[in-house]
A and B are shown apart, each in its own frame.
Chain A
Amino acid sequence: MSNEATLHSQQEVMHGAHDHHDHEHHHEDNFISKYVFSLDHKMIAKQFLITGIIWAIIGAFFSVVFRLQLGFPDATFPWLESILGHWAKGGRITPEAYYALVTMHGTILVFFVLTAGLSGTFSNLLIPLQVGARDMASPFMNCLSYWFFFLASLVMMASLFVQTGPASGGWTMYPPLSALGDASIGSKIGVDLWLISMALFVVSQLLGGLNYISTLLNMRTKGMSMTKMPLTIWSFFFTAVLGVLSFPVLLSGFILLLMDRHAGTSFYLSDIFIAGKALANEGGSAILYQHLFWFLGHPEVYIIILPAMGMVSEVLAVSSRKPIFGYLAMIGSLFAICILAFLVWAHHMFVTGLNPFLGAFFVLLTLLIAVPSAIKVFNWLTTIWKGNIRFTPASLFSIGFVSTFISGGLTGIWLGNSSIDIHLHDTYFVIAHFHIVMGVSAFFGMFAGIYHWFPKMYGRFMNNTIGYIHFWVTLVGAYLIFWPMHYEGMAGMPRRYFDYSSWTSFNQFGGLNQFISIVVILVFATQLLFVFNFFYSIFKGRKLTEQNPWKATSLEWTTPINPGHGNWPGEIPEVHRWAYDYSKDGRDFIPQTEPIGPNESAH
């Protein structure tokens, strides 16, 4: 028994006990316990990733379908009828199908891909590996977290196939449209399934978040003080805190919405006429829902972007062979973003009749977010400044992340001002802003993470050539798609419209919309190339021959090439230094496990 073990051995956790001792003895893992109901955080991470990839293909495909309508409003595509049936009679999607597609595109990408697929994958994979833990605090809860996500996925998937179609009131599900089944065809059972699915999703996120926080605060290896943790771990920590505190509020909003739909309550409903008939509901407020929704909804965008920031910080340091610039400032700015995230929700509601006096405070707090964001951008740029950069696909995607985060973030300053927002609200300017800063950036962070940690996940590399093609087409494509939308938005072109052709002032954008739609198809095809590369490389990729292919300092590269459940055979290594000792004292890199030398000072 090691010193560490005798010092810290306590009453064993029930399911932990069998895993921790002599793992090599127990290779009775059968298919079900290894691949399906796995308790190993690495396998659960892969389950989240692959489920996320499947959802991403579906969600992105939906955008291709509605972009076809927006780019070619007069054309017909008979193949659409063969897959969508009566939703695309004669090869042209119906207005109802269009609304269902945009709603599902938003829901799937925001929640199922960029929340579960992104932080679900990398928090699970990296937290135990980088802090030096055998597994999560509760592997069982972790397994449960994935299966709740899977159930949520099943319900959401089922809602795509019901007769009246999935929810179609926009991904924000604002009442009264979403609260009244008679209001539209997309407000019938589709909304119930949406709410049930999202409730399951919230449970999954809470189970995951509890585990991430208690693992990284409580189970770090010897010597791994909080300020020796890689920035990835710090970002996952703040992500989990945001999720744990804001998802329950969303759930309470959903519960009230479900009551309004089925129990006859009037939390959100008042003075409504449907088809000339007055409803009995009285005294409710639709704005109340918006408060509850955006109290989650705003932190949600940081839940999406913080993990990407953390992974980009890590990848940029590794690939430019330099310590991260301003480590403590990076943590401080993550913390500031985390606090501010809870104080700015009403900037989504400037045009709801919000008191302008109150609005001024939300403008101020919103603009304050520019400070920590600028600190982060400055630190990324100074990290790669004069670095000996290795342009791997992971590092290219990280640099691309910095680019899109800047160009998408700057338009946030416009929208954060309530007076400008009144003009730009619900136009394509907003679409352009959040797709670049949150959609594309988060995807770039996720791609960087996948290319960088693929060797750790599968013991093989992904194909670099396809990776480079994937990067350049995606970067150029993303700008070609979303940049023109700024102009459309400034001209006042509203979002969520099915057909602009009867609206002469926007006819000038007909050609531009066609162009955007064509680029969307090309970029979508390139993502399929990435998916091919991913799955092909799992089985046929170039094999990893060394433990530490990127010459990185952090702990995950001290595990065997294909680590078993428990991660390290024998002792968990002890940590002596921070994770960013690159190009120090004439050495390319010094692993975290190496003690500080006599002539050396800690960072």
Chain B
Amino acid sequence: MHTMSIQRKKIHPHKYSLWIAMGSITMMFIGFTSAYVVKRSQANWLAFELPHIFWLSTAVILLSSLTIHLALKQFRERNMQRYKQLITLTAVLGVAFAACQWIGFSQLKNSGLPLSGPVSASFIYVIVGVHMLHVLGGVVALLIMFARAYRTRIRTYSPVPIEVAATYWHFVDVLWIYLLIFLSIAR
């Protein structure tokens, strides 16, 4: 009977894959934003102000980055009660962020810039919408993590899943700040 040795690895494979995935998602938004730049230099480009609520949503997502950072810290110290609270808070803030973006969409629409309106507005809907989907994907991951924290039969001591989730969460945060700066400057 042979015993197999354990796989040799330098970094946890899930973390490694996440970094490559973040590069990949970045490329997608580079695709969108460069399409935006190309379009902007052509005729019939309509410039307008971004909905003000986007500044509120920025504050919300910055706050949520802080809460997930604290959640990771609490997990490492095995303060499971605080960890659960913070992770719930992060998920709630994620949903609040998506809600803010949604309100932003309706503000745009009410100011006479529907999705099917000028291309500059359509781009806002698509870029912000796709980013919002990425945030909601993060919320789903947090909900799974939350459910796991309540399991009594199997207990997880590995910080890897929450580390992966936190890195992703900071990534969508930074991505949003990039998009906000880009969309405010390149109007």
Instruction: Please report the C-alpha to C-alpha distance between residue A119 and residue B39 in the assembled complex, in whole angstroms.
Output: 35
Selecting from B27-35, B61-69, B100-108, the interface stretch reads B27-35
Name the residue in B1, B17, B44, B118 with the highest tally of chain A Cβ atoms < 10 Å from its Cβ.
B17
Interface string of A254-296 (1 = CB under 8 A from B): 0110010001111100000000000000111100100110010
Q: Are B8 and A8 in contact (CB under 8 A)?
A: yes
Which of chain B's residues 31-73 have a Cβ closer than 8 Å to chain A? 31-32, 35, 38-39, 42-45
Q: Are A252 and B31 in contact (CB under 8 A)?
A: yes
Nearest-neighbor residue (CB-CB) of B45 within chain A: A283
Question: What's the minimum C-beta distance from B14 to chain A, rounded to whole angstroms?
Answer: 6
Q: Are A256 and B2 in contact (CB under 8 A)?
A: no
Q: Is B99 part of the binding interface, using a Cβ–Cβ cutoff of 8 Å?
A: no
Q: Are A248 and B6 in contact (CB under 8 A)?
A: no
Q: Are B119 and A214 in contact (CB under 8 A)?
A: no
Q: Is A29 part of the binding interface, using a Cβ–Cβ cutoff of 8 Å?
A: no
Name the residue in A218, A250, A285, A572 with the highest tally of chain B Cβ atoms < 10 Å from its Cβ.
A218
Interface string of A223-254 (1 = CB under 8 A from B): 00000000000000000000011111111110
Q: Is B20 part of the binding interface, using a Cβ–Cβ cutoff of 8 Å?
A: yes
Which of chain A's residues 1-37 have a Cβ closer than 8 Å to chain B? 1-2, 4-5, 8-13, 16, 20-24
Q: Is A434 part of the binding interface, using a Cβ–Cβ cutoff of 8 Å?
A: no
Q: Are A248 and B16 in contact (CB under 8 A)?
A: no
Which of chain B's residues 100-142 have a Cβ closer than 8 Å to chain A? 115-116, 118-119, 122-123, 126, 130
Q: Is A141 part of the binding interface, using a Cβ–Cβ cutoff of 8 Å?
A: yes
Instruction: Please report the C-alpha to C-alpha distance between residue A297 and residue B179 in the assembled complex, in whole angstroms.
Output: 26
A-side interface residues, number (CB < 8 Å): 67
Q: Is A211 part of the binding interface, using a Cβ–Cβ cutoff of 8 Å?
A: yes
Instruction: Please report the C-alpha to C-alpha distance between residue A569 and residue B3 in the assembled complex, in whole angstroms.
Output: 7
Q: Is A124 part of the binding interface, using a Cβ–Cβ cutoff of 8 Å?
A: no
Q: Are A570 and B3 in contact (CB under 8 A)?
A: yes
CB neighbours (8 Å) of A570 from chain B are 2-5
Q: Is A221 part of the binding interface, using a Cβ–Cβ cutoff of 8 Å?
A: yes
Instruction: Please report the C-alpha to C-alpha distance between residue A222 and residue B9 in the assembled complex, in whole angstroms.
Output: 10
Q: Are A23 and B17 in contact (CB under 8 A)?
A: no
Q: Are A206 and B24 in contact (CB under 8 A)?
A: yes
Instruction: Please report the C-alpha to C-alpha distance between residue A570 and residue B157 in the assembled complex, in whole angstroms.
Output: 28
Count of chain A to chain B residue pairs whose CB atoms are closer than 8 Å in the complex: 161
Contacts A214-B20, A264-B115, A264-B116 known; A20 to B4 CB distance under 8 Å?
yes
Residue in contact with B13 in the complex, picked from A2, A214, A283, CB distance below 8 Å: A214
Name the residue in B7, B8, B14 with the highest tally of chain A Cβ atoms < 10 Å from its Cβ.
B7
Instruction: Please report the C-alpha to C-alpha distance between residue A253 and residue B160 in the assembled complex, in whole angstroms.
Output: 34
Interface string of B134-168 (1 = CB under 8 A from A): 00000000000000000000000110100000000
Q: Are B9 and A8 in contact (CB under 8 A)?
A: yes
CB neighbours (8 Å) of B16 from chain A are 137, 214, 217-218
Q: Is A571 part of the binding interface, using a Cβ–Cβ cutoff of 8 Å?
A: yes
Q: Is A566 part of the binding interface, using a Cβ–Cβ cutoff of 8 Å?
A: yes
Q: Is A460 part of the binding interface, using a Cβ–Cβ cutoff of 8 Å?
A: no
Q: Is B181 part of the binding interface, using a Cβ–Cβ cutoff of 8 Å?
A: no
Instruction: Please report the C-alpha to C-alpha distance between residue A10 and residue B160 in the assembled complex, in whole angstroms.
Output: 11
Instruction: Please report the C-alpha to C-alpha distance between residue A9 and residue B43 in the assembled complex, in whole angstroms.
Output: 60
Q: Are A23 and B28 in contact (CB under 8 A)?
A: no
Q: Is B183 part of the binding interface, using a Cβ–Cβ cutoff of 8 Å?
A: no
Q: Are A11 and B20 in contact (CB under 8 A)?
A: no
Which of chain A's residues 98-147 have a Cβ closer than 8 Å to chain B? 133-135, 137-138, 141
Contacts A137-B13, A214-B13, A253-B31 known; A20 to B20 CB distance under 8 Å?
no
Q: Are B42 and A214 in contact (CB under 8 A)?
A: no
CB neighbours (8 Å) of A288 from chain B are 35, 38-39
Q: Are B122 and A266 in contact (CB under 8 A)?
A: yes
Instruction: Please report the C-alpha to C-alpha distance between residue A473 and residue B2 in the assembled complex, in whole angstroms.
Output: 47
Q: Is A215 part of the binding interface, using a Cβ–Cβ cutoff of 8 Å?
A: yes
Q: Are B119 and A20 in contact (CB under 8 A)?
A: no
Q: Are A249 and B126 in contact (CB under 8 A)?
A: no
Instruction: Please report the C-alpha to C-alpha distance between residue A289 and residue B119 in the assembled complex, in whole angstroms.
Output: 14
Instruction: Please report the C-alpha to C-alpha distance between residue A256 and residue B34 in the assembled complex, in whole angstroms.
Output: 13
Contacts A265-B119, A265-B122 known; A244 to B5 CB distance under 8 Å?
no
Question: What's the minimum C-beta distance from A241 to chain B, rounded to whole angstroms?
Answer: 9
Residue in contact with A291 in the complex, picked from B14, B38, B126, CB distance below 8 Å: B38
CB neighbours (8 Å) of A285 from chain B are 38-39, 42
**Would you give 22 A-B contacts (Cβ < 8 Å), ordered by A?**
A1-B5, A10-B12, A11-B157, A20-B4, A22-B4, A133-B7, A134-B7, A137-B13, A137-B16, A214-B20, A219-B8, A219-B9, A220-B8, A251-B28, A252-B29, A255-B126, A255-B130, A264-B115, A265-B122, A266-B122, A267-B35, A569-B4
Lowest 8 A-B CB distances belong to which pairs? A264-B116, A137-B13, A248-B28, A249-B31, A252-B31, A214-B16, A569-B2, A283-B44
